[in-house]
């Protein structure tokens, strides 16, 4: 019988940490560091490690780049070997949402986006299930829709917007399969890794599985699925509450963090380079943890996570202090999870469990009010635990409680007035390409001028949830502008991008450590939903683009 522990250990020594990973990644054989950790092994992991040890001995521990390339060629297959061609069974040429779109060009675009689901589908070959140790991919039973480009596996938070898009496209079986994969992953790992690779298994991403189940259940009116999922949803919720909470201002609040050691395997060289600013191994290790916590937030990377010596957000990656910042949206999402779990228990008639989760939600809401709400700014703010003060910097997530319902609806009028004033003061409505993620120009991809689809969605839905005429009007304006700007980019390039440019109507984003990616899962999901929402009255002929002059009613 094979020693499974030793096999897993060897697999992790190749894909997650150790001298083989270090040697190959530092040789810079591939333009994108992620390429190597996605490659399949030609031999069992133990044999690969034995060969590597002999190889290092033979070359006196200093092999040349050519020799390392030769080692990789003889021991690894090119990336992508884990998948087989797949067309989703439930793909429909003409889902209902298309017929609700009046403008013919927008309708054609909606149809193109519906077609892209087929290109983004990935099904694993049987061998992955039989011999998972040869791969870095995490085996799952059902096919998935991936973000696209370099991202050829599932990503946790991306899947929320992808699944909603699939539901609007009536691809119920694919959407449900993706959720079932996640439920089985919670069973196996206790939580959901950042993405579908073993090298992502020290961290997660914003916990949106419960909201995915809620979306599915609302679309299909199928509460039985919610009840089947309940155990695992509770399990994931408890994972976050038990492993990711700290005390701030006397309240239990959640933060992003990571449980592994060393650089990110998929960006190994990049992390070694930035860690050069630190002299001790301990400081380097802290830096890696901050980077991985940033990746867990999904906003990798952003000045949002910088705290410099003066307690401000000016700086660079060496100032990352992700683990010392209490993020608004994470707590707002956990509140949402508790409320949804309570609702599912209520449906199931579990009175005690319903009350238990209502209480958990109420406690989180209290913490959000006390730690994040800021009267002076008029919105919620992240909290700096080092300097024990709020971080008054713009991020769309400052409005996250509106999206997840983590506010008292009886306060809507008051919140609406202050949030709209905040938006006005910061001139957030003045950007032709959408609301930027921050107002800081750092060159990092989650900073100015990049605009991210999930964050536009958060703002549009959040303002709408405020349910005041002014907030709803702005929500619709931003929704229309987002659709038109994405359409313009698509018209010019025939592509959907992972991020866009606030400064250019129809411009795509850039910056950060990898090239801007096309595809793109969450971008398509958001537009399919917005086309369904606005398609009846949205017209391209009236395509004047606001630069803020006709901003929401003042």
Ligand X SMILES: OC[C@H]1O[C@H](O[C@H]2O[C@H](CO)[C@@H](O)[C@H](O)[C@H]2O)[C@H](O)[C@@H](O)[C@@H]1O
CB 333 within 8 A of CB 296: no
Q: How far is the CB of 42 from ligand X (least distance, A)?
A: 25
Is 498 designated active site? yes
Token digits of residue 288: 């890696």
Closest separation in Å from C-beta 451 to ligand X: 13
Q: Where do contacts with ligand X occur on this chain (CB under 6 A)?
A: 34, 147, 151, 155, 157-158, 194-195, 264, 266-267, 295, 298, 300, 498
Minimum distance from residue 300 beta carbon to ligand X (Å): 4
| Residue 159 or 337 with smaller CB distance to ligand X | 159
Classified as helix, coil or strand, 57 is helix
Instruction: Select 300 or 501, whichever has its Cβ closest to ligand X.
Output: 300
Least distance to ligand X, CB of residue 253, Å: 22
Instruction: Select 49 or 116, whichever has its Cβ closest to ligand X.
Output: 116
Nearer to ligand X, 254 or 419 (CB): 254
339/241 Cα distance (integer angstroms): 14
CB of 101 to ligand X, least distance (A): 26
Q: Based on C-alpha coordinates, what's the Rg of the chain? A: 23
Q: How far is CA 234 from CA 344, 356, 405, 406, 478, in A?
A: 11, 11, 19, 19, 35
Q: Which residue is nearest to ligand X (CB)?
A: 295
Q: Is there a contact between 290 and 305 (Cβ–Cβ < 8 Å)? A: yes
Write the CA distances from 431 to 408, 449, 503, 547, 550, integer angstroms. 30, 9, 6, 6, 12
Per the CB < 8 A criterion, the answer to whether 335 and 406 are in contact is yes
Cβ proximity of 157 and 206 under 8 Å: yes
Residues 320, 294 contacting (CB under 8 angstroms): yes
Q: Annotated catalytic residue: which of 498, 501, 513, 529?
A: 498
CB nearer ligand X, residue 211 or residue 342: 211
Task: Count CB neighbours of 89 within 10 A.
Answer: 9
Tokens 């390392």 locate to 68
Q: What are phi and psi of 8, to 5 degrees?
A: -65, -40
Number of Cβ atoms within 10 Å of the Cβ of 544:
7
Question: Which residues are bridge partners to 450 per DSSP?
Answer: 501
In the set 158, 236, 266, 300, the catalytic residue is: 300
| Shortest distance, position 189 Cβ to ligand X, whole Å | 16
Instruction: Compare residues 116 and 474 and give the one whose CB is closer to ligand X.
Output: 116
As a whole number of angstroms, the distance between CA 428 and CA 452 comes to 14
Distance from C-alpha of 228 to C-alpha of 111, rounded to nearest angstrom: 34
Nearer to ligand X, 204 or 418 (CB): 204
Q: How far is the CB of 433 from ligand X (least distance, A)?
A: 19
Residue 397: partners with Cβ closer than 8 Å, 6 or more residues away: 327, 328, 329, 382, 455, 458
Q: Which residues are catalytic?
A: 300, 498
């Amino acid at each position: 019988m094979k020693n499974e522990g030793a096999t897993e250990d060897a697999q992790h020594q190749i894909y997650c940490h150790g001298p083989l990973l270090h040697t190959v990644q530092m040789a810079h054989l591939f333009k994108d560091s992620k390429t190597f950790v996605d490659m399949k092994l030609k031999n069992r992991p133990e044999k690969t490690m034995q060969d590597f040890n002999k190889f290092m001995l033979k070359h006196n521990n200093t092999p040349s780049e050519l020799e390392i390339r030769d080692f990789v060629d003889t021991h690894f297959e090119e990336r992508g070997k884990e998948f087989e061609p797949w067309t989703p069974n439930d793909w429909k040429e003409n889902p209902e949402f298309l017929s609700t779109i009046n403008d013919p060009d927008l309708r054609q675009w909606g149809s193109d986006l519906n077609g892209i689901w087929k290109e983004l589908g990935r099904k694993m070959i049987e061998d992955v299930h039989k011999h998972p140790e040869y791969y870095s991919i995490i085996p799952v039973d059902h096919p998935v829709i991936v973000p696209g480009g370099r991202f050829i596996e599932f990503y946790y938070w991306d899947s929320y917007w992808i699944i909603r898009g699939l539901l609007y496209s009536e691809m119920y079986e694919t959407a449900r399969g993706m959720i079932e994969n996640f439920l089985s992953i919670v069973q196996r790992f206790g939580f959901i890794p950042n993405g579908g690779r073993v090298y992502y298994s020290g961290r997660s991403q914003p916990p949106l599985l419960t909201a995915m189940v809620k979306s599915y259940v609302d679309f299909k009116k199928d509460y039985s699925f919610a009840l089947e999922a309940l155990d695992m949803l509770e399990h994931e919720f408890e994972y976050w509450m038990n492993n990711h909470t700290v005390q701030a201002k006397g309240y239990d609040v959640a933060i992003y963090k990571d449980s592994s050691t060393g650089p990110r395997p998929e960006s190994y060289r990049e992390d070694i380079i930035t860690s050069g600013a630190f002299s001790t191994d301990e400081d380097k290790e802290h830096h890696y943890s901050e980077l991985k916590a940033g990746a867990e937030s999904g906003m990798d990377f952003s000045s949002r996570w910088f705290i410099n010596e003066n307690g401000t957000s000016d700086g660079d990656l060496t100032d990352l202090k992700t683990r010392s910042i209490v993020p608004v949206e994470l707590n707002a999402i956990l509140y949402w999870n508790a409320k949804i779990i309570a609702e599912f228990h209520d449906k199931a008639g579990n009175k005690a469990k319903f009350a238990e989760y209502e209480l958990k939600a109420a406690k989180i809401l209290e913490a959000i009010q006390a730690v994040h709400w800021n009267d002076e700014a008029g919105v919620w703010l992240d909290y700096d635990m080092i300097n024990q003060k709020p971080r008054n910097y713009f991020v769309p997530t400052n409005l996250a409680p509106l999206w997840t319902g983590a506010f008292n609806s009886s306060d809507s009028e008051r919140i609406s007035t202050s949030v709209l004033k905040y938006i006005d003061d910061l001139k957030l409505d003045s950007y032709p390409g959408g609301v930027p993620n921050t107002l800081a120009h750092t060159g990092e991809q989650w900073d100015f001028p990049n605009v991210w689809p999930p964050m536009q969605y958060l703002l549009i839905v959040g303002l709408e949830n405020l349910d005041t005429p002014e907030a709803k009007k702005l929500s619709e304006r931003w929704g229309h502008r987002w659709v038109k700007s994405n359409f313009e980019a698509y018209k010019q390039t025939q592509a959907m991008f992972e991020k866009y440019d606030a400064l250019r109507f129809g411009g795509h984003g850039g910056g950060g450590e990898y090239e801007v990616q096309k595809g793109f899962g969450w971008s398509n999901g958001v537009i399919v939903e917005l086309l369904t929402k606005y398609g009846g009255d949205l017209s391209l002929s009236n395509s004047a683009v606001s630069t803020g002059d006709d901003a929401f009613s003042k």
